[in-house]
Amino acid sequence: MNHEAIKELLYKMADDQLILGHRNSEWTGFGPLLEEDIAFSSMAQDKIGHSLALYTILHELGEQDPDTIAFTRNADQFHNTVFTELPNAEYDFSLIRHFLYDTSEALRFEILSQSSFEPLAQLAIKVRGELRYHTMHANTWIKQLGSATEESISKLQKSLEYALPYALGLFEPSLYESKLINEKVFEGEKALEEKWKKKVEEVIAQTQLQLPNWKTLTPHYGGRIGKHSEHLQPLLDEMSEVLRIDPTAEW
C-alpha cells in the first residue's frame, strides 16, 4: 500500500478538522444563542478529537507525534483548505461553512468506512455516526433560516455565494488520486465532489436559497499544497501559544 498517498490524504483531513475545530471554538461565549454557543463548542471538541485520531494514525505511519504535528508546523506546511481557515465573520457565514464543510466531511468518512486501509476504515465507522449530529444541526438551521425572513434569506444567500468557490477547494485533486482509487483506499476527490453537490442541492432545494450554476464557479485551490491566505498563520500562532511559552505544560 502506498504510504505517501495515504499520508497526504490523512494530513489534509486532519488539518481541515483541526483548523475548522479551532474556528468553531472561537464561537464559545459569542454564539448568537446559548444553544448555538454550546453546539459550536461541542462540534469544535469533536473536530479536534477527530484531528487527534488522524494525527495518531499518521504517527503510527512514522510521522512525528500528534502534538508536534499540530503545534509546530508553519502555515505553508499545513494542508487544510483555505475555506476552513477563513475568519468566522458573521454567524451566517459560519453556519453556511458548517453546512458545506460538514456535508463533505460526513460523505468523506462514509466513503472511507469502506477503505482498504484498515485503521482509517475503523476510525471512519466511528466518526460517521458522530457526524450525523453535525449534519442534522446544520441542515436544521439552514432549512429554518433559509426560509425565515427576507433578511435571514438574503444574508445566507450572500454568504453562500461567497463560500461556494472556497468550499469547492475541499476537492482539490491530489497527486495521488489514481493510486488511492486503484488501491481502494479512497474513491477520490472527484467522486466525493459529485456526491457532495447532490447533497447540497437536496438541502438547498428545501429553502428559498438559490444555488448558482456550478459551471460558473471557479474552485479556490492551493490549500492542499500549502498555499494559504493571510488568516492561517495568526490562527496557528494563537493555537500554539501555550506550547511555545511552556513546552512541558499539561492542558
Partner 1 sequence: MIPEAVTIEKIYQWLEEVKDPEIPVLSLVDLGVITNVFIEEKVKIEMTPTFVGCPAIDYMKNDIIDTLRKHGQEAEVEVTFRKPWSSDLISEKGKIALKKYGLAPPPDRKLFTDLEILENAECPRCNQTNTELKNPFGPTLCRAIYYCNDCKEAFEQFKPV
Q: Measure the CA–CA gap between 101 and 13, rounded to whole angstroms.
A: 11
Residue 132 interacting with partner 1 (CB under 8 A): yes
Of 45 and 229, nearer to partner 1 (C-beta) is 45
Q: Is the dihedral of CA 122, 177, 173, 3 positive or negative?
A: positive
Size of the site for partner 1 (CB under 8 A): 28
* The binder of partner 1 chosen from 9, 123, 200, 235 (CB under 8 A): 123
Q: Measure the CA–CA gap between 236 and 15, rounded to whole angstroms.
A: 11
Of 129 and 212, nearer to partner 1 (C-beta) is 129
Q: Is the dihedral of CA 42, 47, 52, 53 positive or negative?
A: positive
Q: Measure the CA–CA gap between 219 and 51, rounded to whole angstroms.
A: 24
Residue 16 interacting with partner 1 (CB under 8 A): no
* The binder of partner 1 chosen from 42, 72, 147, 240 (CB under 8 A): 42
CB of 219 to partner 1, least distance (A): 29
Q: Measure the CA–CA gap between 250 and 147, rounded to whole angstroms.
A: 46
Other C-beta atoms closer than 10 Å to the C-beta of 33 total 9
Of 48 and 163, nearer to partner 1 (C-beta) is 48
* The binder of partner 1 chosen from 1, 38, 148, 242 (CB under 8 A): 38
All three cell numbers of 173: 485533486
Binding residues for partner 1, rule: CB under 8 A, are: 35, 38-39, 41-43, 45-50, 52-53, 119, 122-123, 125-127, 129-130, 132-133, 136-137, 139-140
